[in-house]
Amino acid sequence: MALKVLILGGTTAASALARKIAGDARLAPVLSLAGRTTNPQPQPIPVRVGGFGGIEGLVHFLRDEAIDAVVDATHPYADQMSTHVVAASKQTGVPLASLVRPDWKREAGDRWQVVADTEAAADALGAEPRRIFLSLGRQDLHVFARAPQHHYLARLIERPDQEALPPDLRLLQARGPFDRADEERLLRQERIDVLVSKNAGGAATYAKIEAARALGLPVVMIARPYKPAGVILAEVEACVAWLHGLVPRGV
């Protein structure tokens, strides 16, 4: 009997885990996506899309689907989903592991200003108009309408659907990973004064941080929120080992 695993995804780590366990006869995984991206990348394991309906909905899902284990591989800033899954795991007794990417650490030459949230990031840009590169999700862009004096370049996987966006905003549609030389070229060509970023951790989006360092550009770094977790694992391999150590609950 295969172990039924729910993977909460939306990250490169979740996709890496899916690739790693695809075809593993001991596991019967399903990858869950929030549904924010209309054209998500194809996955080698079954996928379900959309919210569960809060903690209660997730508890029902775990019970109805007879899930044996959950892996929270959501983004470090997806704190609501993690709060819900920790609560649902406690209520149902379904074991939970959380894949937690170590954050980026400030290095020599980095000019980071760390702020608490997106609103504080917009306020930190100052009164003088500047050219800002926003490397954030599309759901964060409307916040910068409170600092309309700046010129913004935002890189996104998909166009934002909100209406209240900053007036001087240009969109660049692209999906990572990004190369350091390309990032430097982009920051130079666009004459960017400040980069705004989340501390995502991992290699896929780190090149912009290195590029900002090389060019001596300031970075407004939005701090990670508190994110509850189950058994904390840093690597996909450790997660696979954790799953292999569990037995299906029906056995």
Q: Can you give the binding site for ligand NAP, defined by CB under 6 A?
A: 8-11, 32-34, 36, 51-54, 57-58, 74-75, 77-81, 84, 137, 198
Q: Cα angle at 58 between 35 and 237, to 5 degrees?
A: 75
Q: How many angstroms separate the CA atoms of 229 and 251, rounded?
A: 26
CA distance 22 to 15: 10
Minimal distance, residue 28 CB to ligand NAP, in Å:
18
- Rounded least distance, CB 45 to ligand NAP, Å: 14
Nearer to ligand NAP, 51 or 245 (CB): 51
Cβ nearer to ligand NAP, comparing 57 with 167? 57
In this structure, what is the dihedral angle of CA atoms 202, 208, 212, 218, given to the nearest 10 degrees?
-80
The angle subtended at Cα 115 by Cα 143 and Cα 117, nearest 5°, is: 40
Cβ nearer to ligand NAP, comparing 56 with 237: 56
- Kindly tell me which of 55 and 145 has the beta carbon lying closer to ligand NAP: 55
**Rounded least distance, CB 61 to ligand NAP, Å:** 9
Min. distance of Cβ 248 from ligand NAP in angstroms? 22
State in angstroms the smallest separation of the CB of 85 from ligand NAP.
9
What one-letter code names the amino acid at 72?
Answer: D
Shortest distance, position 185 Cβ to ligand NAP, whole Å:
24
Token pair, residue 220, equals 């407004």
Nearer to ligand NAP, 137 or 166 (CB): 137
Pick the closer one to ligand NAP by CB: 98 or 169.
Answer: 98
Structure tokens at 15: 């996709």
Smallest Cα–Cα separation from 166: which of 132, 187, 197, 142? 142
Residue in the structure block whose two tokens are 């695993």:
5
Q: Is the peptide bond before 177 cis (omega within 30 degrees of 0)?
A: yes
For residues 240 and 68, what is the distance between their CA atoms, to the nearest angstrom? Answer: 14
